[in-house]
Structures are given as structure tokens and as C-alpha cells.
A = this chain, B = another copy of it.
Amino acid sequence: MESTQTDHNRHQGSGQEQGKRPRVVVVGGGFGGLNAARSLRKADVDVTLIDRRNFHLFQPLLYQVATGTLSPGNIASPLRVIFRRQKNCFVRLGEVTDFDLDENCVLLGDERVPFDYLVVASGAVDFYFGNDDWAQEAPGMKSIESAIEIRREVLSAFERAENANDAEERNRALTFVIVGGGPTGVELAGAISELARHTMRNDFRRIDPSHSKIYLLDASPRVLEHYPEDLSQKAQADLERLGVEVKTKSRVTAIEPDYVEYTLDGETQRIESETVLWAAGVRASPLGAKLAEAAGVELGRGGQVAVNNDLSVEGHSNVFVIGDLAAAKGEDGKQLPGIAPVAIQEAAYLGKKVIPARIKGEEPKPFRYRDLGTMAVIGRRAAIAQVGERHFSGTIAWLMWLFIHLMQLVQFQNRMLVFVQWGWSYLTWGKTTRLITGHPGDDMEQVSPNAAANAKPEPHAAASS
């Protein structure tokens, strides 16, 4: 199989004659890109999937890595393994830097990868509403590295508390602030509370971790504001039952190494905390701006690229944008939310309908999102779900959540292992991947009782990526 071809820009499946088939380049190996490439597995095309990372990440369970239940390996699958048997798919590790839509090329630095059809699905990144310095103090939840950073910060906080010299220092270490009351913030707050109240309850000798204070701040009037109001209320009640202090209508105005400030009813409040986690906002990946500029189309407020009703970019019927990067509209005219089911349906639509139709010179039917429901999990036997007009909460919603997430995990092995790990965790409240890894030097500084609070080290640069 070792190829001696010199024109390395022409990728094709092994055993296929070169250059005969339409070339589809997919940028991004998240839910959108992965499913776009997979849905083309029987199409008579050559697919090149380009990603910066060598794995697909099952983002919905990232918070379980951040709180020590799962290992990164449980929720990440190498793209090469996923596409091993899809012979028309070439996986290319690399970073797309720009697009040349006149020449139909994707640029990876100096290298040009030509395409006949392009699918851009580079997703979203954490967004700090212009306060980029907050990324230093409040890691987000978009990558394995940032989840491990959160795990390190949360676990180190308990260690600092155990080593604290006085009550003030101890209380500050045991105060956690999660900014953002969407699904990610709710999941994180619930999981940290369970970690403190159950998993770790016998692990320390001087502190009682269940005395931790966990705050969930959100600027909107209620948590999970995109969900029906009764489910928001259920979620808030579940959080409060877990000891989380939910502060709505609270807009964060400052994040410093040892405190957070926010305004509530026009007054500035302060919470002394060294552990602030960011779940308040994401923004479309910067590639969206590059693509919009190359195509001469509009960029939405959240950085998304405007698309036609076949998900193509205006004026470029062979260039498509899907997932969190796309400003696709639902039947009600509203922009579709940045969630996995939207990306997956868009991907299938491209792979099964639009690209085959274009190749045949036909015109595809417009994309139509089918809302199968949404859900969020708060903790053990506590979740909410909306399916059509029906609302679920409590144990039944939690079981639905569990079932759907297990089924969705990409690989059989991961599914089975996650199942075993979850089963074990459920029985024992155990979280055995509670490892403080990555920056041993930093940890030492953090847990040293003599380290000044404002000497807190900078989080890893990847925390904001």
C-alpha cells in the first residue's frame, strides 16, 4: 500500500483509479464532519476528512472527564479507527488555515488541497464575550485538555482546603463557581456537587468536602432558558437539592484569581473563589470568518456562516457549512441551536441528498430539521427531557439520557467500557479517574499552603481552545 505518487494533493481510496471521482473535502471531525464523511461511504466519491486532532470527541460526556468519572479514552475515538473500513475516506491530520474558493482549494499553510465539494464543520470554541483574559482564570469545556484542566483545578482545590491554615483560606478553596446555566453548566454543577457530597465524603481528614459551596451563575432569568419553563424549574429544584446555589439574573463582570464579581439587580456582588469554570458561551470557530470572507457572505453575531436552505454558501453551490458553524434556520425561521442532533441531521442530508443530487446535476429538496427532543442531566436520577410536547424529569428522564448517550457513543468498545464504568460508579459513587495530571509543577504551587492566592499559575493555553 505504500504509495509512490508524487502528486500528494490527489487523495483517493486504495484500489480506485486516480482523479476520476468527485473529491469531497470535509473540514472537522466532530459530529457534523464525522457524519458527513460517513454518510458518503457508499457514494462514488473520494472523501478527505481534515482535522487538527486525530480523534472524534464525544463532547456531551466531556463533563464526566472533567469531574473524574470517565477517562478521555472513554469518550474519544481515533478517526483512523472509525474510518478504517471506509476505503473512500482519507483522514488527514492538519490545520486548515484558509480557503481559496476561486480555485476550489482548502489551504493547510502552504499546502493546497483541491476539492469538488467542500463541507466545513469546524464547530465552536469557548467565548468569553470579549473578556479573553477570563480564559486564564476560568477554563471552558471544549477540549480534552480543558476538561483535564478543570479536573486538575477542582481536585486541587480540595487538596488546598485540606492543607489550609485557617477557615478563610479553607472556605475559599471549597467554593466553586460555574458561570453559565445552560446544559453544560448544569451538568458541571451537578457533577461537582455529587463529587463533593458523595464520592469524596470519606476521603479527607480535616475537611468535610460536603461543606463545599457551589454556585451556578446565569445572566438570564432561569437556568436552561431554552427549555420549557416547567423543566427549568425542575432542573433548578434538582440542583438545589444537590446543594447548588443557583443565582439567576446574575451577570459576571470580573473574574480574578481569588474572586468573581457579578451584578444582580444593579448591585455588584462578590464570591471568594479560586475555582471558576466557564460554561457561559461558545462562538463559531474562527474558520467561519475565513470562509465567509472567501465567499463574500455574511457572518452571524455568533460567528456562524449564513447558508442557503440546502446548507450551501450563497454563490458557491459546492461549498457547505454544517453544525455549530452554520447559521441554518429551522422551519420557524429561527436559527437552529448548536447541538449534536442538528449537526448529525445536516451531515446526513449533505451526504445522502445534496452531494449525490449535485453530482447528478439535480436540485435537492431543502434541509428540514426534525426535532427529536432535547435533554439535560443534573445528576444521578435527575435529568429533564422534552420530546415533542411531552416533558420528562427525574429518574425516567435520567434513564432516557443514559440510554441515548450509551447508544450514541461511537465505538462498541467505548460503549461497553463506559457502561461498565458507569455501572460501577453508580453502585459505589466511585470516581477513579480523579487524577491531578498535566502540570505537576503548577499543582505543587497550587496546593502549597504558602503559595499566595494571586500566584495561581496560568491555566494551560489549550484551556480556551
Contact B92 A163 (CB under 8 A): yes
CB contacts under 8 Å to B, within A41-75, are 52-55, 71-74
Listed by A's residue number, 12 A-B pairs whose Cβ atoms lie within 8 Å are A2-B170, A2-B208, A3-B206, A5-B206, A52-B440, A53-B436, A53-B443, A71-B433, A76-B433, A80-B200, A438-B438, A440-B465
A435 touches B76 (CB 8 A): yes
Q: A203-B84, A447-B94 are in contact. Are A145 and B438 (CB under 8 A)?
A: yes
Q: Quick one: CB contact mask for A208-221 with B, threshold 8 Å, 1 for yes?
A: 10010000000000
0/1 interface trace, chain A 168-209, chain B, CB 8 Å (1 if under): 001000000000000000000000000000001011111110
Chain B hits for A78, CB < 8 A: 203, 432, 434-435
Given the complex of chains A and B, what is the CA–CA distance between A434 and B288 in angstroms?
Answer: 29
A206 closest partner in B (C-beta): B3
Contact partner, A444, options B95, B165, B202, B441, Cβ 8 Å: B95
Q: Which chain B residue lies CB-closest to A1?
A: B208
Q: Report yes or no: B411 in contact with A432, Cβ–Cβ below 8 A.
A: yes
Residues of A within 8 A of B (CB): 1-6, 8, 11, 13-14, 52-55, 71-74, 76-78, 80-81, 84-85, 90-95, 108-111, 143-145, 155, 159, 162-163, 165-167, 170, 200, 202-208, 211, 411, 413-414, 416-417, 420-421, 424, 428, 430, 432-441, 443-444, 447-450, 461-462, 465
Q: Which residues of chain B come closer than 8 Å to A443, judged between CB atoms? A: 52-53, 93
Complex Cα distance, B166 from A139, in Å, reads 41
Q: Is the CB of B94 within 8 A of A163?
A: yes
Residues in B neighbouring A432, C-beta threshold 8 A: 73, 77-78, 81, 411, 413-414
CB distance from A84 to the nearest CB of B (A): 5
- Once A78-B434, A432-B81, A450-B111 are accepted as A-B contacts, the answer to whether A2 and B93 lie under 8 Å apart by CB is no
Given the interface contacts A435-B55, A461-B441, does A430 sit within 8 Å of B81 by beta carbon? yes
In the bound complex, residues from chain B placing their C-beta under 8 Å from that of A81 are 203, 430, 432, 434
Q: Name the distance in Å between A296's Cβ and chain B's nearest Cβ.
A: 28
Bound-state Cα–Cα, A338 to B151, Å: 32
Check A11 against B95 for contact (C-beta < 8 Å).
no
Distance between Cα atoms of A1 and B211 in the complex (Å): 10
